[in-house]
Homo-oligomer: A and B are copies of this chain.
Amino acid sequence: MQVEIIITLRESILDPKGKASHHALENLGFEDIKGVRIGKFIQLEVDTTDPQKAREVAREASEKLLANTVMENYEIRIPDNA
């Protein structure tokens, strides 16, 4: 089944990519956009039908490799159509 991992920079960490995109959007006339933060979206295909097992594999993979837990937060989501 498919699991989604959303990795974002911790609030306290400066987000230069987000700032650059925000600036570019303002130049394109997007005045309603007050902030932009950019992170990673990871889709794992896990060989199980058990959402709990899939969530645990994703958590472990995030802790061990995919997320830099000093600077980043990660959130695990199981899509409705998983």
- A interface residues with partner B (beta carbon < 8 Å): 6-8, 18, 21, 24-25, 28, 30-48, 53, 57, 60-61, 64-66
Copies in the complex: 2
A45 touches B34 (CB 8 A): yes
**Which residues does chain B contribute within 8 Å of A21, judged by CB atoms?**
42, 65-66
Within 8 Å by CB of A39, from B28, B32, B41, B66, lies B41
B38 touches A44 (CB 8 A): no
**Which residues does chain B contribute within 8 Å of A65, judged by CB atoms?**
21, 24-25, 28
A47 touches B32 (CB 8 A): yes
Given contacts A32-B46, A34-B45, A41-B41, 17 further A-B contacts (CB under 8 A): A6-B41, A7-B41, A8-B41, A21-B42, A21-B65, A21-B66, A25-B65, A30-B57, A32-B53, A33-B61, A35-B43, A35-B44, A36-B44, A37-B42, A38-B43, A39-B40, A39-B43
